Chain A
Amino acid sequence: RKEVEQDPGPFNVPEGATVAFNCTYSNSASQSFFWYRQDCRKEPKLLMSVYSSGNEDGRFTAQLNRASQYISLLIRDSKLSDSATYLCVVAQVGGNTPLVFGKGTRLSVIA
């Protein structure tokens, strides 16, 4: 099993739709979780951290399920500008261990 797995997509959704992505991780010692967004030919940028209690930022909601070892990202009221690749990122205890990136899920929001 790979360390961090994501459905590559693409997810093609109409404007205004709600879409959800899941990401599974294999290391139960993982402590920190993030969602990054990467636009075509650009660098990845932090979208949001994922906290144990779940967190929301506007139209975006992130959840963590430690028992099943997955994190999720929910996007409500999708906008054309949400079209991008979403990367799941997992870090392990200890701090010096590098972050592990998923390969990303591609989202296309269609007018």
Chain B
Amino acid sequence: NAGVTQTPKFQVLKTGQSMTLQCAQDMNHNSMYWYRQDPGMGLRLIYYSASEGTTDKGEVPNGYNVSRLNKREFSLRLESAAPSQTSVYFCASSEVLQGAFLWNTIYFGEGSWLTVV
């Protein structure tokens, strides 16, 4: 039972390089998310996809792009990496019960440690 799988787990980039973080979930969830976590800042939402075919900006979208490839997969791309993007990135997914005003559990991947030098 894999849950949410993200790759790579560790990556070192040079300033200006590009890369894509991959994420896949096997729980048939509609909603997927990308967060970054920095010391003292907590989890901050970068982008999310409420359902297949839609994406929306979160709190800190600048410098990132996303693609909801299908229901299972949601990728995060850094077009031109900057040292300020050094962080731990978490992909997550959840099912939302519309109309019941109740969120189900949000499940996280194990994280991707990214360093930009």
Q: What are the residues of chain A within 8 A of B40 when measuring CB–CB?
A: 103
Contact of A99 among B41, B97, B101, B106 (CB under 8 A): B106
Let me know if B96 and A87 touch, CB within 8 A. Answer: no
A22 to chain B, nearest CB (A): 16
Is A96 within 8 A of B50, CB to CB? yes
Contacts of A43 on B, CB cut-off 8 Å? 90, 108-111
The residue of chain A having its C-beta at the shortest distance from the C-beta of B99 within the complex is A95
Chain A interface, DSSP helix/strand/loop, else mixed? loop
1/0 per position for B62-105, CB-CB distance to A under 8 A? Answer: 00000000000000000000000000001000101111011101
Number of A-B residue pairs with CB-CB distance less than 8 Å in the complex they form: 52
> Are A96 and B96 also in contact (CB < 8 A) when A31-B102, A43-B90, A43-B108 are?
yes
B41 contacts A95, CB within 8 Å? no
Establish whether residues B110 and A42, one from each chain, have CB atoms under 8 Å apart when the complex forms.
yes
Q: Which residues of B contact A98 (CB under 8 A)?
A: 33, 45, 48, 58
**Interface residues of A, count at CB 8 A:** 23
12 A-B contacts, Cβ less than 8 Å apart? A32-B102, A43-B90, A46-B106, A49-B105, A91-B103, A94-B101, A95-B97, A95-B99, A99-B94, A99-B106, A101-B43, A103-B41
7 closest residue pairs by CB, A with B:
A103-B42, A43-B108, A95-B96, A101-B43, A91-B103, A32-B103, A96-B50
Given A44-B43, A96-B96, A98-B45, output 7 extra A-B contacts at Cβ < 8 Å. A42-B111, A49-B105, A94-B101, A95-B101, A96-B50, A101-B43, A104-B42
